[in-house]
Structure 1
Amino acid sequence: MGIDADLERIALQESELQFDSFSLETGWALGSLLRGMAVERKLGVVIDVTLFSMPVFYAALEGSTPDNPSWVRRKRNCVFRFLKSSYAVGLSLTKQESTIQAKFGLPDAEYAPHGGSFPIVVKGTGCIGAVTVSGLPQRDDHIMVVEAIATLLDKDIKALKFDT
Structure 2
Amino acid sequence: MPDVIAHELDVLFVGINPGFASARAGHHFANPANGFWRLLHESGFTPRRFVPSEQRELLTLGIGITNVVSRVTAGVKDVTREDFAEGRLALAQKIAHWKPKSVVFVGVTAYRAFRGTRGPIACGEQAEGLGRARVFVLPNPSGRNAHYSYADMLELYRGVARALE
TM-score in terms of structure 2 length: 0.33
Q: Which has the higher helix share?
A: 1
TM-score in terms of structure 1 length: 0.33
